[in-house]
Amino acid sequence: MGNGAYGTVYLATEQQTGRQVVAKVISIGTEESSTSFRTEQRIWKHMQRCPGYPHPNIIRYFEVIDWKSRGVVIMELAAGGSLSDTLYDGVTADPGAVDGVRTPLGDALLTDEALAKKLYGQLAAGFQWLGQCGVVHKDLKPDNIMLTKPFLQGGIIKIIDFGLASLTSDQRAGSLANMYYNLHQNVDPRTNKKGTRTFDDFAMGLILAEIGTGVPPFFNPQNDYFSTKGNLQNQKGIFYILQPKKVCSAGDAGIFPPKRDLAMGKVSIDAAVKEVVGRSLYYNQNGRHFVYNSAVEQGIGNVQLLKQSWLYNSPAAMSLLHSLLAGREDDRIEPSTLMSSKWLSDVRESPSPEIPVAEMTLQPQVEAHVHVPPPAPPLVQDLREEEEPVETKQEAPKLNMCRNPYKERGPPSLCKVRHSSHSDCYVGISCGGGPSHMVKLEQGFGAGTVPNCGNCRLA
C-alpha cells in the first residue's frame, strides 16, 4: 500500500475470518526504527487498558508482534484516504510536488460550518479520548488522519501512527515530534506536566485553521512547500502570510519563528486567518487570485466575501483556535475536555451519519459516459456510461467494482492505482479535479498508471 519512514505497509487478509487488515512491517535493524516500533507496541498495550477502547476515531490495533527481526503492526483498514487527500489533490511531501490543488470538498469546508464541525468533531472526539487515556501523539497531521471511506459517503475519522507517541506518565521525553504541526519538538513530562498534556493542542489548532482557510499552514511559495497551480497557486499559509520576506526566505530551516510569533501573539491569529481565507474565497468566486497585499485593500468587495467564512466570523471557533494555538501552557485547552468547548458542544461524539451528496452544493456531480479509447492501453482503459451518477450508483457493481482500490503515493503528475481483486475490475477516477469516469484494472494485486491523468483522486 505504500512505504513509510521505517518500513512498508501491506494490505493483508486474516485467514480465519477473511477480514482485510493493514500490516505495517518495520525493519527494526536501527535504533530509530526499533524505537518507533517499540513505542507503537507500548502505546497499543496502554490504550487497551483505557476505558472506551477501541474508540471509533482511533485506529484499532489487532496485534503488534516481533517477527523474523521485523516488527509487524496489524491494524484495521481505513480505505477512504487521508484527511490530506480529502482537502487536497497532489499536496504531498515529495520533492518537486508543486501541482497541488484544493478539492471541491476543501472549497465547501471554507463556508459550510456544519460540515466542518462534522469533520473536525470526529477528530476532536478521538483527540479528547487520547487525552483522557494519557496519550500524547506528537505527530498529528492530515496525513496521519485517515477515513474509513470518503467523507461524503459517511467516512469515519481514524487517528493513526503512534510511532512517535508518549504517555503523560512517562519519565522521559521520548522521540522528537513532527516539526511542521507542533510548536515544539519535545517536552519533558517530569518537569512540565501541563505542557505534556497539551503538547498536541498546537497541531489540532493548525488542522482547524487548515480546514477553515483552505491552505496548509506551512505553505511558503518559492521557499518551501507550495503550489504553482489552480486555487493554491503561490498561496501562503497562516505561518507566513504576515511575515516579512526575510523570515519567509529562511524556508523550513526557519519554521520555528513564525510558529512562535503566532503562538505568542506577535502575529495576530485573527489577521492571519482573515488574509488566508480571504484569498481562498476570492479565488473561488472570481477564478483568479487576489493581487493586493491585504484582504480588504482597494475596496474591491473582499470584505463581503469574508462574511462567508465561518472560522473568521464565529467567536466560538476563533476562541477555540486561540486556545489551541496558545504559546502559554496555562492558556491552552485540556485535551480531555475538548468536546465541551463552545464551538464543539453541539457535536455528537459518535461517528457522523452518511451525508447525502445532494447537500454538497460545491461538490461537482460525478459524470459517466460511454467511451472505449482506441487503442486500449494494456492495463487501464476508459469505460463510461450514459446515466447520471446519482441515478446509476446502484448499478455500479454490474461493472465488477474493484475491491479496496487506493492511490499509490508518487509524483502528482502520475496517477497510480492499486487494488486487490480476483478478476478485472473497475474504479472511478477524477483527473485534475475534472469529472469522474470509470477505468478498468487488471486482475490481481496490481498497480498501473492511468494514462493522461494527473492529480487524480478516487471517486
- What is the set of domains in the chain, with CATH numbers? 2-76 (3.30.200.20), 83-357 (1.10.510.10), 382-458 (no CATH)
Residues with Cβ within 8 Å of residue 170, at least 6 apart in sequence: 189
| Count of C-beta atoms within a 10 Å radius of residue 433 | 18
Q: Please give the DSSP secondary-structure letter assigned to residue 452.
A: T
Supply 52's cell numbers: 472506551
Bond from prior residue into 411 cis (ω within 30 degrees of 0): no
In whole angstroms, give the CA distance from residue 418 to residue 439.
12
- Tell me which residue of 337, 217, 222, 230 sits closest to 267, measured CA to CA: 217
In whole angstroms, give the CA distance from residue 337 to residue 45.
23
**Residue 158, CA atoms < 13 Å, CB-side half-sphere:** 23
Do residues 317 and 310 lie in contact, with contact meaning Cβ atoms separated by under 8 Å? yes
In whole angstroms, give the CA distance from residue 66 to residue 63.
10
Phi and psi of 97, rounded to 5°? -80, 95
Per-residue model confidence as pLDDT tens for the chain (459 residues): 887 777 889 999 989 889 999 999 988 878 888 888 999 999 999 999 999 999 999 999 999 988 888 899 999 999 999 999 999 998 876 655 688 899 999 999 999 999 999 999 999 999 999 999 999 999 999 999 999 999 999 999 999 999 999 999 988 877 888 889 999 999 888 889 999 999 999 999 999 999 999 999 999 988 878 888 899 999 999 999 999 999 999 888 899 999 999 999 999 999 999 999 999 999 999 898 877 666 555 444 467 889 999 999 999 999 999 999 999 999 999 999 999 999 999 887 654 444 443 333 333 333 323 232 333 333 232 222 323 333 333 333 456 666 666 666 555 656 777 665 556 777 777 776 566 677 777 654 445 667 667 667 776
Do residues 250 and 223 lie in contact, with contact meaning Cβ atoms separated by under 8 Å? yes
Question: How many helices and strands in the chain, by DSSP H and E?
Answer: 13, 18
How many residues are recorded in the chain? 459
| Count of C-beta atoms within a 10 Å radius of residue 243 | 21
Do residues 182 and 203 lie in contact, with contact meaning Cβ atoms separated by under 8 Å? yes
Q: Mapping DSSP to helix (H, G, I), strand (E, B) and coil, where does residue 159 land?
A: strand
Bond from prior residue into 54 cis (ω within 30 degrees of 0): yes
Do residues 437 and 382 lie in contact, with contact meaning Cβ atoms separated by under 8 Å? yes
Looking at residue 4, what is its pLDDT? 72
Residues with Cβ within 8 Å of residue 245, at least 6 apart in sequence: none
